[in-house]
Amino acid sequence: MSTEAFDAVDVIRTKRDRGRLSDAQIDWTIDAYTRGGIADEQMAALNMAILLNGMDRAEISRWTAAMIASGERMDFSSLRTPDGGVKPTTDKHSTGGVGDKITLPLAPLVAVFGVAVPQLSGRGLGHTGGTLDKLEAIPGWRADLSNAEMLDQLQDVGAVICAAGSGLAPADKKLYALRDVTGTVEAIPLIASSIMSKKIAEGTGALVLDVKVGSGAFMKDEASARELAETMVALGTDAGVRTVALLTNMRTPLGLTAGNAIEVEESVEVLAGGGPADVVELTVRLAEEMLAAAGVHDADPAAALRDGRAMDVWNRMISAQGGDPHAALPVARESEVVYAQADGILTELDALQVGVAAWRLGAGRARKEDPVQAGAGVRMHAKPGDPVRRGQPLLTLLTDTPERFERAQEALEGAAVIAPEGARPDQRLVIDRIAE
Instruction: Give counts: helices (H), strands (E), the chain.
Output: 16, 13
Catalytic residue from among 172, 238, 278, 350: 172
Closest listed residue to residue 263, CA positions, set 147, 131, 114: 131
Closest listed residue to residue 187, CA positions, set 355, 47, 78: 47
Contact 283, 270 (CB under 8 A): yes
Whether 381 is a known active-site residue: answer: no
Closest listed residue to residue 245, CA positions, set 122, 119, 95, 130: 95
Catalytic residue from among 92, 123, 127, 179: 179
Catalytic residue from among 93, 309, 360, 404: 93
Whether 267 is a known active-site residue: answer: no
DSSP annotation of 80 reads B
Which run of H or of E encompasses 379?
A: strand 377-380
How far apart CA 28 and CA 188 sit, in angstroms, is: 21
Cα 389 to Cα 336, 392, 416, distances in angstroms:
19, 5, 13
Which run of H or of E encompasses 283?
A: helix 277-293
Catalytic residue from among 194, 197, 215, 267: 194
Catalytic residue from among 87, 92, 101, 198: 198
Whether 220 is a known active-site residue: answer: no
Whether 93 is a known active-site residue: answer: yes
Whether 426 is a known active-site residue: answer: no
Closest listed residue to residue 248, CA positions, set 288, 213, 290: 213
Contact 277, 269 (CB under 8 A): no
Relative to beta strand 257-259, strand 387-388 is unpaired
DSSP string, 187-232: -HHHHHHHHHHHHHHTT-SEEEEEEEESTTSSB-SHHHHHHHHHHH
What residues act catalytically? 93, 172, 179, 194, 198
